C-alpha cells in the first residue's frame, strides 16, 4: 500500500511520500536509543511540563489537525475536532497523575521481614523504545493514548502509522518536538508494513503496542514472541448492545444510532450487534431504523454531516461483501443496504455507504462472526437475558459491551457473565484515560490507559534490602 493522502470523499490522491530507506531507519533507531539513555533519568515534573506543553500546542492546532484527519480518513470534521480535544485532556490527565500511578509499591514491613529484608519495595522503571503500530480510524487518539503514558513513564516512542494517514503521523512527531521533548523521544517512521518485522526484531526496540486487525496483531505478536518482547494488542471488536424490558427504550435507540455510526461506523468499540428483548423489540427497531434513516451522509467537511465516507475503497468493498453474503442467505434489509444516492457529482467517486440495519441474521452468515467496519448494524430478537448473554458471547471478539436495563439482578448477571473487556450500562462504550481499555478473546490482550496502561511498558523492579546502606537512597 503506498504511503499517501487520498481523500476518501472523492478518491483524489493529494500527496504521496517515499518510504524510509534502511539507512534512515537505522538513524532513527539509533536516535531513539540515544534519547532513552538520557530521558529515562528525567523526573516526573520535567516530563509533565513537556507533555502539558504538547497538550497546549495541540489545543491551538485543533482546527487544522481536524481538517487534516478528515482529509486523510474521512471522519466528519466535528468528530475530528472532538478527537483532538480528547487527546488534549488525556495528555493533561497523564501529566497530572503519572507520578502517583507509578509510585513505589511498599509491602508492610512485617510481610517481608521473614524473607530477611529490612525493607523492600517495587519500583516501575521504563523499558526503552516502544514501537507503536497504529491504525487510521482514530489517527490522533490511538497514538496519544499510547504516547502520553509511555512518555510519562520515561520510555521513548517509535510510531509506524497506517499508510493512509502520513500527514497526521508527521504532525505528531512535530508536535512533540515543538513541545520541547529531546530529539529522538518520539519519531514517526514512514514505512510500509513489510518493514515492521525487522524494526521489531532490532535490539534497540524494547516492546511493541498494536491497535488494528487480527491478522496484523498475530503477525506482530508472533515476531515479538520470537524475540521475547512484551506486547499489548487491541484488535477487532463486534460489541453487543443489549436492550432489556426495563430500559428507557427511546434513549437506548438514540444512543444505538450514535454507537453504531460513530467514526462512520469504523470503530472497534462501536456497537455492532443489537440484541433486543421481544417485549421491547418492535419499539426499539422502529426508533432505531428511523434514527439511522435520518442521518445526513455527505461531505465530511460540512458541519451538518453525520456520516462521511469509509476510509478506503477496499473497506467499502469488504463491507459490501458482508452485506451481500447476509442478504443472499436470507437476511432482511430494514434500511440502507448499499451506496447512498443523491450526494452530488463532487462526491460520486467517494467511498460512501448508507447507514444500514439488517435482521434475520443466522449463524451461517459471515456477518454473524466477522466484524463490520462501517455503518451496518445487525438486529436480533431474544426472549430473555440468558439468551441475550449467550448470543452476545457467541463471537470470537470480546472488546466491550453495552447493556440497557434498570434491573439490578440483570446488572449483576451481565457483569459476571459477559465476555468482554468492559460492560457499559445505560450508555455508550467509550475510552477514558482514567479507565483501563482492552479486550479478551480475539480482541487482544493487555490494557491501555489508566494505571494498567502506563505500567504496561515498565519493568516492575523488586528492590530488597538485607541490611541498610549507610546512606540509603530510594
Concatenated DSSP letters of 395-409: SSEES--EEE---HH
- Name the grid cell of 11: 478518491
pLDDT band at 111 (very low <50, low <70, confident <90, very high): confident
Tens digit of each residue's pLDDT (9 = 90 or more) over 443-469:
999 999 999 999 999 999 999 999 888
Comparing 50-59, 113-122, 223-232, 349-358, which segment has the lowest mean pLDDT? 113-122
Share above pLDDT 70 across residues of the chain, in percent, rounded to a whole number: 99
Could you confirm whether 448 is annotated as catalytic?
no
Taking CA 130 as the corner, what is the angle to CA 124 and CA 134, rounded to the nearest 5 degrees?
130
Taking CA 261 as the corner, what is the angle to CA 413 and CA 375, rounded to the nearest 5 degrees?
105
Tens digit of each residue's pLDDT (9 = 90 or more) over 394-421:
999 999 999 999 999 999 999 999 999 9
Cα torsion 444, 446, 450, 455: sign: negative
DSSP secondary structure letters along 116-147? T-SEEEEEEEE-SEEEEE--SSSTTHHHHHHH
In contact, 16 and 49? CB cutoff 8 Å: no
Look at residue 296 and tell me whether its pLDDT is greater than 80: yes
Look at residue 41 and tell me whether its pLDDT is greater than 90: yes
Q: Which pLDDT does position 469 carry in this prediction?
A: 85
Task: Supply the Cα-derived Rg of the chain in whole angstroms.
Answer: 24
Could you confirm whether 234 is annotated as catalytic?
yes
Which whole number is the average pLDDT over 20-47? 98
Residue 24: other Cβ atoms inside 10 A: 14
427-432, Cβ contacts within 8 angstroms, sequence gap of 24 or more: 427/255, 427/402, 428/255, 428/258, 428/259, 428/262, 428/271, 428/402, 429/239, 429/259, 429/269, 429/271, 429/400, 429/401, 429/402, 430/269, 431/141, 431/145, 431/269
In contact, 373 and 136? CB cutoff 8 Å: no
Out of 72, 83, 173, 234, pick the active-site residue: 234
Q: Tally helices (H) and strands (E) across the chain.
A: 15, 19
Q: Which pLDDT does position 472 carry in this prediction?
A: 53
Look at residue 230 and tell me whether its pLDDT is greater than 60: yes
Out of 185, 268, 414, 458, pick the active-site residue: 268
Which whole number is the average pLDDT over 267-294? 98
Which whole number is the average pLDDT over 355-383? 98
Look at residue 139 and tell me whether its pLDDT is greater than 90: yes
pLDDT band at 474 (very low <50, low <70, confident <90, very high): low
Look at residue 289 and tell me whether its pLDDT is greater than 90: yes
Share above pLDDT 90 across residues of the chain, in percent, rounded to a whole number: 95
Q: Which pLDDT does position 117 carry in this prediction?
A: 86
Q: Which pLDDT does position 470 carry in this prediction?
A: 77
Which whole number is the average pLDDT over 83-112? 96
Q: Which pLDDT does position 116 carry in this prediction?
A: 83
Tens digit of each residue's pLDDT (9 = 90 or more) over 174-210:
999 999 999 999 999 999 999 999 999 999 999 999 9
pLDDT band at 112 (very low <50, low <70, confident <90, very high): confident
Q: Which pLDDT does position 435 carry in this prediction?
A: 98
- Name the grid cell of 269: 468499540
pLDDT band at 365 (very low <50, low <70, confident <90, very high): very high
pLDDT band at 357 (very low <50, low <70, confident <90, very high): very high
Amino acid at each position: 500500500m503506498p504511503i499517501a493522502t487520498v481523500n476518501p470523499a472523492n478518491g483524489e490522491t493529494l500527496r504521496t511520500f517515499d518510504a524510509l530507506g534502511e539507512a534512515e531507519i537505522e538513524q532513527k533507531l539509533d536516535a531513539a536509543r540515544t534519547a532513552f539513555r538520557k530521558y529515562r533519568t528525567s523526573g516526573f515534573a520535567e516530563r509533565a511540563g513537556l507533555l502539558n506543553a504538547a497538550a497546549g500546542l495541540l489545543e491551538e492546532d485543533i482546527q487544522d489537525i481536524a481538517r487534516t484527519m478528515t482529509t486523510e480518513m474521512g471522519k466528519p470534521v466535528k468528530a475530528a475536532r472532538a478527537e483532538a480535544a480528547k487527546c488534549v485532556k488525556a495528555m493533561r490527565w497523564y501529566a497530572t497523575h503519572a507520578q502517583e500511578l507509578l509510585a513505589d509499591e511498599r509491602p508492610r514491613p512485617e510481610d517481608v521481614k521473614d524473607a530477611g529484608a529490612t525493607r523492600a519495595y517495587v519500583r516501575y522503571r521504563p523499558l526503552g523504545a516502544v514501537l507503536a503500530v497504529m491504525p487510521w480510524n482514530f489517527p490522533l487518539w490511538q497514538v496519544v493514548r499510547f504516547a502520553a503514558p509511555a512518555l510519562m513513564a520515561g520510555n521513548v516512542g517509535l510510531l509506524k502509522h497506517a499508510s493512509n494517514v502520513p500527514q497526521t503521523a508527521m504532525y505528531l512527531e512535530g508536535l512533540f518536538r515543538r513541545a520541547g521533548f529531546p530529539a529522538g523521544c518520539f519519531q514517526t517512521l514512514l514505512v510500509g508494513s513489510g518493514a515492521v518485522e525487522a524494526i521489531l526484531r532490532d535490539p534497540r526496540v524494547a516492546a511493541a503496542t498494536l491497535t488494528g486487525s487480527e491478522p496484523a496483531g498475530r503477525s506482530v505478536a508472533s515476531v515479538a514472541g520470537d524475540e521475547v518482547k512484551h506486547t499489548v494488542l487491541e484488535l477487532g471488536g463486534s460489541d453487543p448492545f443489549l436492550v432489556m424490558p426495563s430500559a428507557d427504550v427511546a434513549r437506548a435507540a438514540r444512543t444505538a444510532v450514535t454507537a453504531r455510526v460513530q467514526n462512520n461506523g469504523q470503530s472497534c468499540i462501536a456497537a455492532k450487534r443489537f440484541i433486543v428483548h421481544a417485549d421491547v423489540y418492535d419499539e426499539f427497531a422502529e426508533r432505531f431504523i428511523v434514527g439511522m434513516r435520518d442521518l445526513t451522509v455527505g461531505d465530511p467537511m460540512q458541519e451538518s454531516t453525520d456520516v462521511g465516507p469509509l476510509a478506503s475503497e477496499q473497506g467499502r468493498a469488504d463491507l459490501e461483501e458482508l452485506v451481500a453474503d447476509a442478504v443472499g442467505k436470507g437476511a432482511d434489509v430494514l434500511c440502507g443496504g448499499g451506496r447512498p444516492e443523491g450526494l452530488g457529482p463532487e462526491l460520486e467517486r467517494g467511498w460512501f455507504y448508507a447507514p444500514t440495519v439488517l435482521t434475520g441474521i443466522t449463524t451461517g452468515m459471515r456477518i454473524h462472526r466477522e466484524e463490520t467496519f462501517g455503518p451496518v448494524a445487525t438486529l436480533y430478537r431474544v426472549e430473555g437475558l440468558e439468551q441475550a448473554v449467550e448470543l452476545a458471547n457467541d463471537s470470537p471478539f470480546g472488546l466491550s459491551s453495552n447493556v440497557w436495563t434498570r434491573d439490578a439482578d440483570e446488572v449483576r448477571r451481565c457483569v459476571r457473565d459477559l465476555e468482554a473487556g468492559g460492560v457499559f450500562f445505560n450508555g455508550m462504550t467509550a475510552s477514558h484515560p482514567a479507565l483501563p481499555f482492552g479486550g479478551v478473546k480475539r480482541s487482544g490482550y493487555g490494557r491501555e490507559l489508566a494505571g494498567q496502561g502506563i505500567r504496561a511498558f515498565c519493568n516492575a523492579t523488586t528492590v530488597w534490602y538485607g541490611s541498610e546502606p549507610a546512606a540509603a537512597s530510594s
